[in-house]
Amino acid sequence: MGLFKPAWMSDNDKKALKAVEKERNQSKLCAIAKNAPYWLSRFKAVEKLADQATLADAAKNDTDNMVRLKAAEKLTDQALAQKIYVDMAKSHPNWFVRLEAAGKLADQTLAQETYVDAVKNSGDWIARLRAAEKLTDQTLAQITYADIAKNAAEHDTRKRAVEKLTDQAVLADVAKNDAKDL
């Protein structure tokens, strides 16, 4: 490629994205999805892509999580898509990616296991809040909301948790003991 590399390979992200947005050729979109240095260029190519082999490769192997999730969404092979979601929901190091993948699972038992794992083990208050909002176990959800309302550092996160609380005694306790201006 050298001196005459395609615009989608540009170091200028805006130029690369503009080239991808204009592209309609499926063969070129396959090349972009596989080789573009900028993750958003690969994502935009995957959005337009119909080639199932390239989508499967991107879903399994892309270095960016959002590209992987978008590629899995577009797969016609739902068994493969579900396998990718399961892998990401069970073991991805980023809780937000795990929760996003869990939301796409057909197996609701596994999705709930992922949400429970997040509320119990994530160190991120927002990830815990998002997981609690998806729980079917409302007792655990309320315990999680109370913990977040009392202990989260961010005002907006605490406020969202308080809005989810239904137990009047817990609400009173949070109001009485929280000097963080909810």
d(CA 177, CA 163): 17
Helical pair 138-151 and 108-121, crossing angle rounded to 10 deg: 30
pLDDT in 10s for each residue of the chain, 182 residues: 556 899 999 999 999 999 999 999 999 999 999 999 999 999 999 999 999 999 999 999 999 999 999 999 999 999 999 999 999 999 899 999 999 999 999 999 999 999 999 999 999 999 999 999 999 999 999 999 999 999 999 989 999 999 999 989 889 888 887 655 55
pTM of model > 0.85: no
Residue with tokens 């990616």: 97
The structural domains of the chain, with segments of one domain joined by +, span: 13-76, 102-182
- Evaluate whether 118 touches 99 at the Cβ level (below 8 Å): yes
Cβ-Cβ contacts under 8 Å for 146 (sequence gap 6 or more): 161, 165, 167, 170, 173, 174
